[in-house]
């Protein structure tokens, strides 16, 4: 009987210690800090239409911005946008310059080694903006895998990764901004620009119609996710439940229809 009592007390002690550890972990959560600060800080690079971009009034708007507004509203806090170059956005998150990355970031294994991601909020893939002189010569990314072609993308993105992995024989040209790379194709300096489907749709509607060819069938699978620092299960749990809720109650669909299915917002850019 004494042995059973001792074993029971040990189990209770372990459970109490585990509970105390959980409480300490919760206190350190970014979620707790956001609620105490009454402010959600998001890091983004406003150069990726239609996810984050600057309108004629100088205001940052887009799919991710509206998603962030709903997230801040669900917490009852104000939203602060921290403009950050994409190639330095993960180090900035890790040094607490902001609370989350919400900047059209594709979930990759390499990035996942550095930070954690909530469940994907949208899935996109790489497409091709093609110089119109190649209309009868190039019908897929495989045709571009030739040293005679120059293929461009944005530095530090999955477009660059896909190009180097799947179109490795072509000459590669990198750009700091998507629009510059796409315009390089129209100007005849590059043969193709590889980038996410939503950007291609928007660029062709704005500047590419009749000037380039859009091969709009994605040749990669790329889920976009909200990035957070590692070691924060409470915040991750909250974000995943938030995403499930807005997808079920119609808020996500309204954001999707506004920025992806419609191009009415183009007149304000």
Domain assignment present for residue 261? The answer is yes
Whole-number pLDDT of residue 47: 85
Whole-number pLDDT of residue 19: 43
Nearest-angstrom CA–CA distance, 13 and 35 = 31
Domain assignment present for residue 78? The answer is yes
Distances (CA, A) of 43 to 9, 67, 168: 48, 13, 31
Instruction: Note if the bond before 114 is cis, omega within 30 degrees.
Output: no
Whether residues 188 and 114 share a domain: the answer is no
Whether residues 28 and 101 share a domain: the answer is yes
Round the CA-based radius of gyration of the chain to a whole number and report it: 22
Whether residues 16 and 65 share a domain: the answer is yes
Domain assignment present for residue 2? The answer is no
Whether residues 152 and 102 share a domain: the answer is no
Whether residues 169 and 238 share a domain: the answer is no
Whether residues 171 and 97 share a domain: the answer is no
Three-class DSSP category at 108: coil
Nearest-angstrom CA–CA distance, 225 and 74 = 18
Whole-number pLDDT of residue 28: 81
Whether residues 112 and 142 share a domain: the answer is no
Whether residues 117 and 236 share a domain: the answer is yes
Whole-number pLDDT of residue 8: 58
Specify whether the CB–CB gap between 118 and 238 falls below 8 A: no
pTM of the model: 0.74
Whether residues 89 and 157 share a domain: the answer is no
Whole-number pLDDT of residue 229: 98
Consecutive sets of 10 residues in the chain, 269 residues long: mean pLDDT of each?
A: 57 53 71 97 93 94 98 98 96 98 94 97 94 96 98 94 97 95 97 94 87 94 96 97 98 94 84
Domain assignment present for residue 167? The answer is yes
Whether residues 18 and 117 share a domain: the answer is yes
DSSP 207: I
Domain CATH for 169: 3.40.190.10
Of 183, 204, 220, which residue constitutes the final position of a domain?
220
**Structure-token pair, residue 175:** 């750009």
Give the count of domains, the chain: 2
Whether residues 58 and 180 share a domain: the answer is no
Structural domain for 146, as ranges: 126-220
- Which residues, other chains included, contact 257 with Cβ-Cβ below 8 Å and sequence gap of 6+? none
Q: What is the largest CA-CA distance in the chain?
A: 88
Domain assignment present for residue 4? The answer is no
Nearest-angstrom CA–CA distance, 83 and 45 = 6
Whether residues 132 and 181 share a domain: the answer is yes
**Structure-token pair, residue 205:** 């509607």
Q: Give start and end residues of each alpha helix (H) in 89-211.
A: 89-94, 109-112, 158-166, 178-186, 197-203
Domain assignment present for residue 6? The answer is no
Per-residue pLDDT of 245-259, as tens digits, reads 999 999 999 999 999
């Amino acid at each position: 009987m004494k042995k059973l009592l001792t074993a029971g007390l040990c189990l209770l002690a372990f459970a109490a210690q585990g509970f105390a550890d959980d409480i300490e972990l919760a206190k350190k959560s970014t979620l707790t800090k956001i609620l105490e600060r009454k402010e959600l800080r998001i890091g983004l690079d406003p150069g990726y239409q239609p996810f984050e971009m600057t309108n004629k009034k100088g205001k940052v708007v887009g799919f991710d911005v509206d998603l962030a507004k709903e997230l801040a509203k669900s917490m009852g806090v104000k939203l602060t946008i921290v403009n950050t170059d994409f190639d330095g956005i993960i180090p900035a998150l890790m040094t607490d310059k902001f609370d989350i990355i919400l900047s059209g970031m594709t979930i990759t294994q390499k990035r996942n080694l550095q930070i954690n991601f909530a469940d994907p909020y949208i899935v996109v893939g790489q497409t091709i903006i093609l110089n119109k002189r190649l209309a009868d010569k190039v019908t897929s990314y495989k045709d571009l895998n030739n040293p005679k072609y120059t293929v461009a993308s944005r530095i530090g993105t999955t477009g660059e990764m896909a190009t180097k992995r799947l179109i490795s024989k072509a000459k590669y040209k990198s750009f700091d901004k998507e629009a510059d790379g796409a315009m390089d194709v129209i100007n005849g300096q590059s043969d193709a620009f590889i980038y996410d489907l939503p950007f291609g749709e928007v660029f062709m509607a704005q500047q590419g119609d009749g000037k380039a060819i859009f091969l709009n069938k994605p040749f990669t699978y790329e889920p976009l996710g909200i990035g957070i620092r590692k070691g924060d299960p409470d915040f991750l749990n909250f974000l995943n439940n938030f995403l499930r809720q807005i997808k079920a109650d119609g808020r996500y669909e309204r954001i999707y229809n506004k920025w992806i299915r419609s191009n009415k917002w183009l007149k304000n850019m």
